[in-house]
Amino acid sequence: MNVATNLAYPTAIEAVDLIKDYGRGENTVHALRGVNVRFERGRFTAIMGPSGSGKSTLMHTLAGLDSATGGHIMFNGGDITAMNDNQLTLLRRKKIGFIFQSFNLLPMFTAEQNILMPLTLAGDKPDRAWFRQLVHTLGLEQRLGHRPNELSGGQQQRVAIARALISKPSLVFADEPTGNLDSVSSAEVLEFLKRSVKELNQTIIMVTHDAVAASYADRAIVFADGRIVADEANPTAEVMNELLMAERERAARGALLEPPIAPEPAGARHRR
Ligand SMILES: Nc1ncnc2c1ncn2[C@@H]1O[C@H](COP(=O)(O)OP(=O)(O)OP(=O)(O)O)[C@@H](O)[C@H]1O
Ligand SMILES: [Mg+2]
């Protein structure tokens, strides 16, 4: 580990030998295969990699939303993997913001109620000025009274972003936060995230499939098959596209070396 960067930026969250398996026996999916990674406080990190490589699993496990199969997660002076449900709930409510890939908005509540939900649950008063700033930056002024099913995908995504940031959490996980936005809204959201890292000293960990989005980050990690395969300081869109192409070629070469797949028995086609 690099001692110089260690001193410059204290650790926000760290995964040590992190393992996550889904299922059992021969159907086990090894989603995380012993991940070691340290995220620095006040820095913006992007995570890229093929679909199914374990990016969302890493984020959910780090945030304590999903349990780890093995390893440790050091955050805020403790090990998340050793915490009980109550401790995890409190930690997530106060310290962690999560922007879900699938938004996870509550359908019965308006956009405004959804945005304020983390504070409502914690019994905390909203900072109205911050609320107005979020709503303005995300262009949601005209949509605050609407329920999620009356909003477009991009609008729902922006509500989910505001909800994750309303309590000014020190650590924010963003799972493809710009996946449903047009390029102008996407640039605005990325600028906003970048600014909140600088101004609020927030730590942001963002999954993205877009190399341009990754270029807003201070660092970008490439994930493949449950492992980190590249770790780039000062990522540019060009470098990230090259790394992703190289990973795709490596995976294709690997597939060529595997034995041919046996024909499926009749009736097995729809089983996963
Ligand atoms: N609840 C689950 N039960 C079983 N397998 C799961 C579960 N969640 C994820 N997986 C599997 O774990 C692996 C990693 O999934 P994950 O959602 O982390 O991928 P991802 O990198 O986020 O992909 P994408 O870019 O498509 O969002 C995949 O093979 C997926 O099928
Ligand atoms: Mg995902």
**Pairing relationship of beta strands 203-207 and 171-175 according to DSSP bridges:** parallel
Tell whether 199 is covered by a domain: yes
The stretch 202-206 carries a mean pLDDT of 96
Q: What is the pLDDT of residues 49-96, one digit of tens each?
A: 999 999 999 999 999 999 999 999 999 889 999 999 999 998 888 899
**Is residue 169 a contact partner of residue 202, using CB atoms and an 8 Å limit?**
yes
pLDDT of 253 reads 87
Tell whether 39 is covered by a domain: no
Tell whether 261 is covered by a domain: no
Task: Say whether 72 sits in a helix, a strand or coil.
Answer: strand
Residue 23 Cβ < 6 Å to ligand 1: yes
Tell me which ligand sits closest to the C-alpha of residue 50: 1
Provide the residue range defining the domain that includes 157: 44-66+83-256
- CATH number for position 118: 3.40.50.300
Nearest residue to 100 (alpha-carbon basis) of 50, 140, 148: 148
* CA gap 28, 149 in Å, rounded: 36
Nearest residue to 222 (alpha-carbon basis) of 6, 46, 69: 46
Tell whether 54 is covered by a domain: yes
Q: What is the pLDDT of residues 111-142, one digit of tens each?
A: 999 999 999 998 999 999 999 999 998 999 99
Which of ligand 1's atoms lies nearest the C-alpha of 101?
Answer: 27
Number of domains in the chain: 1
* CA gap 133, 219 in Å, rounded: 27
Q: How far is CA 84 from CA 13, 81, 90, 136, 245, in A?
A: 18, 8, 10, 38, 41
Tell whether 235 is covered by a domain: yes
**Is residue 44 a contact partner of residue 194, using CB atoms and an 8 Å limit?**
yes
Residue 57 Cβ < 6 Å to ligand 1: yes
Tell whether 26 is covered by a domain: no
Q: What is the pLDDT of residues 178-195, one digit of tens each?
A: 998 899 889 988 998 998
Q: Whose CA is nearest to atom 30 of ligand 1?
A: 52
Tell whether 266 is covered by a domain: no
Residues with Cβ–ion distance below 5 A, ligand 2: 56
Tell whether 17 is covered by a domain: no
Name the least confident of 223-227, 255-259, 263-267: 263-267
pLDDT of 260 reads 54
Span from the CA of 225 to the centroid of ligand 2 (angstroms): 13
Residues of the chain with pLDDT > 90, as a percent, come to 75
* CA gap 107, 159 in Å, rounded: 12
